[in-house]
């Protein structure tokens, strides 16, 4: 197959590229040329996605079977994608997120109630749009009008160009710009005796995915015709945060323990801004049954590779807004002494 990827050179994209090339497909990347990655033999078309239409004749000459959009964030991105590729390719695959579900709106305090889990691809979506618009800092600098619900709606309602949606969980691994393991690993490598978690966070269950596995899942959704007009999500079997941090510690050789404590043990001015009564995990049966997906890197190995990469890249730190549940060392010591 001839495949064009919009993006493809940062975190998840390179793993998609490697799987597709290994499967024998021809890959072209469309990006600005700012982000470099170690990649197998691929073609590059350099440009800004804001001007996708200007590259139409170049795209046409590539005889594309499928276009993957790794960086479709807004309704207008999605419309631009369809305008640029209608009549030029047979299918588009768009990378979405588990943040489309109503459960995520509950976590953010933007929706009421508690959603029953696990989530399936047919679970209710958020009714409140633009989840990050009022946040002073947005993870990965996504635009204020970021809304994957609208992206999906535009892509899946186009009759002339069938779409596939892959909703990703919290992705971790090599080259993770959020360095999701770093706050825990830092504490472990600093030989802290304990990592203190609020008990509601310790028992919170979410879906994660290791980047090499996620890249494989996307490659299957691209190359399998059964994926036409289908929505998939993907994720490892869920664990609680306490189990997950303990597992990371075990693999990292940490001798300390994860301690979970009730809110009253925490400083009175310490407030966690999310609703942890709501878990956030998926049932990924659909992609496993329809596309034959399973994790090609087992969990222990995935964590081992991520720990090694995180240790080798100490300058890539998780942004503070992504880990507001962890205490500073002095506060943590004081809490433990009570």
Ligand X SMILES: NC(=O)c1ccc[n+]([C@@H]2O[C@H](COP(=O)([O-])OP(=O)(O)OC[C@H]3O[C@@H](n4cnc5c(N)ncnc54)[C@H](OP(=O)(O)O)[C@@H]3O)[C@@H](O)[C@H]2O)c1
Contact with ligand X (CB under 6 A) among 168, 185, 195, 251? 168
Q: Give the sign of the dihedral formed by CA 122, CA 124, CA 130, CA 135.
A: negative
- Comparing CB distances to ligand X, the nearer of 54 and 193 is 54
Contact with ligand X (CB under 6 A) among 22, 43, 48, 320? 48
Q: Establish if 32 lies at the interface with ligand X (CB under 6 A).
A: yes
Residues in binding contact with ligand X, number by CB under 6 A: 22
DSSP bridge pairs for 4: 28, 67
Query: Going residue by residue from 74 to 113, which x/- string records binding to ligand X, judged by CB under 6 A?
Result: ---------------------x-x----------------
CA angle 100, 207, 171 (to 5 degrees): 85
Least distance in Å: CB of 27 to ligand X?
12
Q: Establish if 244 lies at the interface with ligand X (CB under 6 A).
A: no
| Inter-CA distances, 207 with 40, 117, 187, 312, Å | 30, 11, 23, 25
Q: Establish if 218 lies at the interface with ligand X (CB under 6 A).
A: no
Contact indicator for 227, 93 with CB cutoff of 8 Å:
yes
- Comparing CB distances to ligand X, the nearer of 167 and 286 is 167
Q: What is the CA radius of gyration of the chain?
A: 21
CA angle 200, 201, 206 (to 5 degrees): 115
Give the list of residues 6+ apart from residue 168 with CB closer than 8 angstroms, or none: 12, 95, 96, 97, 98, 209, 214, 233, 234
Contact with ligand X (CB under 6 A) among 80, 100, 155, 170? 170
Q: Establish if 11 lies at the interface with ligand X (CB under 6 A).
A: yes
Query: Going residue by residue from 141 to 160, which x/- string records binding to ligand X, judged by CB under 6 A?
Result: --------------------
Whether residue 118 is preceded by a cis peptide bond, meaning omega within 30 degrees of 0, is yes
- Comparing CB distances to ligand X, the nearer of 165 and 196 is 165
Q: Establish if 9 lies at the interface with ligand X (CB under 6 A).
A: yes
Least distance in Å: CB of 176 to ligand X?
7
**Distance separating alpha carbons of residues 281 and 133, to the nearest angstrom:** 24
- Comparing CB distances to ligand X, the nearer of 208 and 254 is 208
Half-sphere exposure of residue 268: CA atoms within 13 angstroms, side-chain side: 0
**Which residues of this chain interact with ligand X, rule CB under 6 A?**
7-13, 31-35, 48-50, 70-71, 95, 97, 168, 170-171
């Amino acid at each position: 197959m001839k495949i064009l990827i919009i993006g493809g050179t940062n975190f998840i994209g390179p793993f998609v590229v490697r799987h597709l090339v290994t499967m024998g497909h021809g890959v072209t990347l469309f990006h600005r040329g700012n982000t470099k990655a170690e990649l197998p033999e691929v073609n590059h078309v350099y440009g800004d996605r804001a001007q996708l239409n200007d590259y139409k004749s170049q795209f046409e000459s590539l005889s594309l079977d499928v276009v993957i959009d790794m960086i479709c964030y807004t309704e207008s991105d999605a419309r631009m994608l369809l305008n640029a590729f209608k009549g030029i390719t047979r299918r588009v695959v768009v990378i979405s997120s588990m943040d489309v579900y109503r459960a995520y709106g509950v976590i953010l305090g933007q929706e009421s109630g508690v959603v029953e889990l696990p989530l399936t691809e047919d679970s209710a979506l958020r009714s409140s749009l633009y989840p990050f618009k009022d946040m002073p800092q947005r993870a990965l600098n996504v635009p204020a009008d970021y809304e994957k619900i609208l992206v999906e709606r535009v892509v899946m309602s186009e009759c002339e160009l069938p779409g596939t949606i892959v909703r990703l969980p919290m992705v971790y691994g090599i080259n993770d710009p959020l360095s999701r393991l770093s706050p825990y690993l830092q504490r472990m490598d600093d030989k802290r005796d304990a990592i203190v978690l609020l008990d509601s966070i310790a028992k919170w269950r979410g879906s994660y995915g290791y980047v090499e596995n996620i890249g494989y899942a996307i490659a299957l959704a691209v190359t399998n015709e059964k994926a036409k007009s289908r929505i998939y999500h993907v994720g490892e079997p869920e664990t609680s945060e306490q189990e997950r941090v303990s597992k990371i510690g075990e693999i990292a050789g940490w001798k300390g323990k994860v301690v979970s404590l009730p809110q009253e043990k925490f400083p009175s001015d310490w407030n966690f801004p999310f609703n942890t009564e709501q878990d956030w995990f998926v049932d990924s049966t659909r992609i496993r049954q329809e596309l034959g997906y399973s994790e090609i890197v087992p969990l222990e190995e995935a964590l081992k590779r991520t720990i090694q990469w995180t240790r080798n890249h100490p300058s890539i730190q998780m942004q503070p807004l992504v880990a507001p549940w962890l205490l500073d060392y002095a506060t943590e010591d004081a809490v433990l002494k009570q």
